[in-house]
Each structure stands twice: as structure tokens, then as C-alpha cells.
């Protein structure tokens, strides 16, 4: 696919400086881009490459003041990073639209129903009473269990497993290897020290405009639903336990784990490798620093860090004080020596 600067500027509401007929066919990093590629500059520390790059078109911020002549055609926008992300999204959408039809071999139950302009890749499996909406893409080796419902314009990447009775919304992206709807970790201790499995008869509900990274696991509820609300973004290698609820537009970074029945509010930011124990409430807009261990409820808007996690500002003060301990110890020793001298 080839696009001119004029076409690209129209897509991202940009202003052209240079040749409006300059054309590009793919993307490149500004320090490595070649002729015929498009790049962007958002971070000032990469500005030196702007004057050296061979990229044909570069997206830059409106406020950027040039220090030298630039050979490439520039497209100025308010936010170069966001504009580039928008452009990549449109490029990916166009590429996905070219995927249509049903590849062979694929198993599709006679009771399964699917909409218009879908794609079902080779070796995919669609079970009994599956419902798939319009323009949805199910890539090779995906498993869609019985009674699963998937909305419109959703992408299920290779090797994803969506187990029985789960509900997936529209405009959802699920990356390779993710498992949705496996049993929650429920076992009842017995008098003899063994554990009896508690049947997990609920499901998982994923609302619209959610993105889930590769190799994440979202367990079905014991009763009711594990819920990922609209707009949430989950990174790779995340564990979401049974009956957890993730609020609207919450983001969770890689390797985080959220234990059963915890309710996470909307607009929450959870860093990588965070662990959250079960049955907690994480308030709207809370921020949890990477590698924190959360064992108590968090108030809306509060930032925490550490294990166990506590107020972020207090934690920074404690760290600063810890760094001063050797000096404080030295001063204490001097005061003790002075006190001993005065007593004598």
C-alpha cells in the first residue's frame, strides 16, 4: 500500500511542509528509515536524526523549530506520537480488511452463526451455538468454545482459546496465546487436609474496545461473571482471577496478577509485576507502581508503591531518609562523643 503526503495529512489533520506528492509504502524508525518510508519525531532526544534521516515523510509536532534544513517532507500535527499511532491503526485496519473468507481446514459447527465479511483462519474451531459478528477476524488455530458470543470488528489472533459461554464485545483485540474462560482457582479445604474443587460455572464478559495482550489468562467466575469493562487495556502475561472486575479505561502492565473477587475502578494504572490480593476495592484513578504488593483497599486517585504498598509520596520520603542514614549515624556519633566530653 502506497500513500502520499496529502493523503496522510488528511488522515491525521496535519499541515504539509514540502512535497505533497511524496509517497511512502511502509514505516521506519527515524534513525534507520530509508527512502519510501514514513517516520515520526516526538521525543526531542531524537531530533538530531531529523536532519540525517532518509525517510521520505516525517510527522512532527507543530511547535518544533527547525535548526537545519530537512530533506524529507514534514507533516506538522499537534501531537506527533498520537498522530502516528492513529496512522498505524488505520494502516493495520486496512490490512485486516483484506482478510476475508474461510480458510481450509477449519471446523465450524452447523449451529454456529457468523456475520458478513468475516475471516476464519485455517485450523480454527468454532463450537456449538457460537455467534460471531460482522467484520470479525479469527486467525488460525483459534479455539472458540460452545455458546461463545463475539461482536463486530473484533480480532482474535492465532492460538487464542475462548472457552464455553464467554462473551466478547465489539472492536476487541485479543493477542496470540491468550486463554479466556479457564476455571477459576477455587478449592475448598477438607478436614483430612485435602482440597475439593469448587465448580466454576460462571463466565467471562469482555466489553467493547478492550485490548488483551499475548499469553494473558482471564479465569471464568465461580458464579456470575469475571468482567473486563470497555476501553480497558491489558498487557502480555497477565493473570486475572475469577470474579475480578476491571473498570473502564484501566490499564494493566505485563506480569501483573489480580486475585479473585477484587474490583478495580475506572482509569486505574497498574504497573508491571504488581500483585493484588483478593476481595479488595481499587478506587477510580488509582495508580500502583511496578512490583508493588497490594494487600489493602486503595482510595480513588491515590498513588501507592512498595510491598506492602503504601502512599507513594511517603515512600519517596522514606527512600530519601534511608539514603541519609549513614550521614545521620555519623552525626549521632559526633553528638554522643560531645555529650561524653561535656559530662567529663
In angstroms, the CA 253 to CA 235 distance is 5
Assign residue 231 a region: left if phi > 0, alpha if psi is -120 to 50, beta otherwise?
left
Reference 166, options 204, 209, 218; nearest CA is: 204
In angstroms, the CA 57 to CA 301 distance is 41
E-only strand ranges, 200-322:
203-206, 211-212, 217-219, 225-228, 233-234, 239-240, 245-246, 251-252, 257-258, 263-264, 269-270, 275-276, 281-282, 287-288, 293-294, 303-305, 310-311
Q: Is 242 an annotated catalytic residue? A: yes
Number of residues that make up the chain: 344
Non-local CB neighbours of 247 within 8 Å, separated by 6+ positions: 229, 232, 263, 264, 265, 266, 267, 268, 284
Catalytic residue among 175, 242, 279, 281: 242
Residue identified by cell 467466575 is 221
In angstroms, the CA 277 to CA 288 distance is 13
The residues assigned a catalytic role are 242
Amino acid at each position: 500500500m502506497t500513500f502520499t503526503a496529502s493523503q496522510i495529512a488528511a488522515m491525521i489533520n496535519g499541515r504539509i511542509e514540502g512535497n505533497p506528492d511524496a509517497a511512502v509504502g511502509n514505516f521506519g524508525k527515524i534513525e534507520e528509515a530509508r527512502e519510501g518510508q514514513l517516520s515520526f519525531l516526538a521525543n526531542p532526544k531524537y531530533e538530531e536524526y531529523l536532519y540525517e534521516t532518509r525517510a521520505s515523510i516525517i510527522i512532527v509536532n507543530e511547535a518544533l523549530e527547525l535548526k537545519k534544513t530537512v530533506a524529507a517532507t514534514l507533516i506538522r500535527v499537534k501531537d506527533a506520537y498520537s498522530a502516528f499511532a492513529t496512522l498505524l491503526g488505520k494502516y493495520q485496519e486496512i490490512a485486516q480488511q483484506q482478510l476475508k473468507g474461510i480458510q481450509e481446514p477449519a471446523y465450524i459447527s452447523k449451529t454456529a452463526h457468523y456475520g458478513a465479511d468475516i475471516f476464519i483462519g485455517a485450523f480454527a474451531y468454532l463450537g456449538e451455538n457460537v455467534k460471531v459478528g460482522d467484520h470479525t477476524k479469527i486467525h488460525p488455530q483459534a479455539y472458540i468454545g460452545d455458546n461463545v458470543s463475539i461482536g463486530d470488528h473484533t480480532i482474535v489472533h492465532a492460538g487464542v482459546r475462548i472457552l464455553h459461554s464467554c462473551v466478547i464485545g465489539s472492536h476487541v483485540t485479543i493477542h496470540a496465546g491468550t486463554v479466556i474462560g479457564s476455571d477459576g482457582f477455587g478449592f475448598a479445604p477438607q478436614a483430612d487436609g485435602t482440597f475439593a474443587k469448587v465448580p466454576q460455572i460462571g463466565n467471562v464478559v469482555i466489553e467493547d474496545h478492550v485490548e488483551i495482550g499475548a499469553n494473558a489468562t482471564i479465569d471464568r467466575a465461580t458464579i456470575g461473571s469475571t468482567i473486563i469493562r470497555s476501553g480497558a487495556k491489558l498487557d502480555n502475561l497477565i493473570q486475572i482471577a475469577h470474579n475480578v472486575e476491571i473498570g473502564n479505561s484501566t490499564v494493566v502492565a505485563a506480569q501483573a496478577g489480580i486475585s479473585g473477587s477484587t474490583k478495580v475502578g475506572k482509569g486505574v494504572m497498574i504497573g508491571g509485576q504488581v500483585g493484588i490480593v483478593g476481595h479488595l476495592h481499587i478506587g477510580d484513578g488509582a495508580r500502583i507502581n511496578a512490583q508493588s504488593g497490594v494487600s489493602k483497599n486503595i482510595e480513588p486517585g491515590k498513588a501507592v508503591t512498595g510491598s506492602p504498598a503504601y502512599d507513594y509520596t511517603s515512600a519517596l520520603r522514606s527512600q530519601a531518609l534511608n539514603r541519609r542514614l549513614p550521614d545521620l549515624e555519623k552525626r549521632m556519633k559526633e553528638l554522643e562523643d560531645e555529650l561524653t566530653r561535656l559530662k567529663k
